[in-house]
């Protein structure tokens, strides 16, 4: 099982990031939802930003737009996860290149599909 930060986690149950928090926890992963104001999502304590996550993160799954990722790139790289999953709509070429230069695996894919297919 992995420690997983969900950047762009939403307390709104119709959002894919919300479903990802639920499915990751359901499958036994330790989940750290990142949301600036929510207190918890599906019983998982939320963190205001990546810098407040209290442990090393194996996987960072992204649910924020490309423009926002440009602003968060330094914070993401300082987290230094083992891998980053760029969900549809969260692809960013610059971040991908910078992460790969730091030997961080980058996957352009859907966390929910990966979980469903046993590829997470």
Q: pLDDT tens across 22-35, in order?
A: 999 999 999 999 99
**Number of structural domains the chain divides into:** 1
pLDDT lower than 70: segments of the chain:
none
Q: Which residues, 6 or more positions from 2, have their beta carbon under 8 angstroms from its beta carbon?
A: 29, 30, 58, 59, 120
CATH of the domain at 92: 3.40.50.720
Asked if residue 50 lies in contact with residue 40, where contact means CB atoms within 8 angstroms, the answer is no
- pLDDT, one tens digit per residue, over 54-66 is 999 999 999 999 8
Give the pLDDT score at 66: 87
CA distance 48 to 28: 23
State which residues form the domain around 97.
Answer: 3-116
């Amino acid at each position: 099982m992995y420690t997983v930060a969900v950047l762009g986690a939403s307390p709104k149950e119709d959002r894919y990031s919300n479903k990802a928090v639920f499915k990751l926890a359901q499958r036994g992963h330790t989940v750290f939802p990142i949301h600036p104001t929510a207190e918890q999502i599906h019983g998982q304590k939320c963190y205001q930003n990546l810098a407040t996550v209290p442990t090393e993160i194996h996987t960072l799954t992204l649910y924020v737009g490309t423009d926002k990722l440009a602003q968060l790139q330094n914070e993401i790289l300082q987290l230094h996860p083992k891998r980053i999953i760029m969900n549809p709509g969260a692809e960013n070429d610059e971040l991908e290149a910078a992460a790969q230069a730091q030997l961080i695996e980058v996957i352009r894919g859907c966390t929910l599909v990966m979980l469903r297919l046993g590829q997470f």
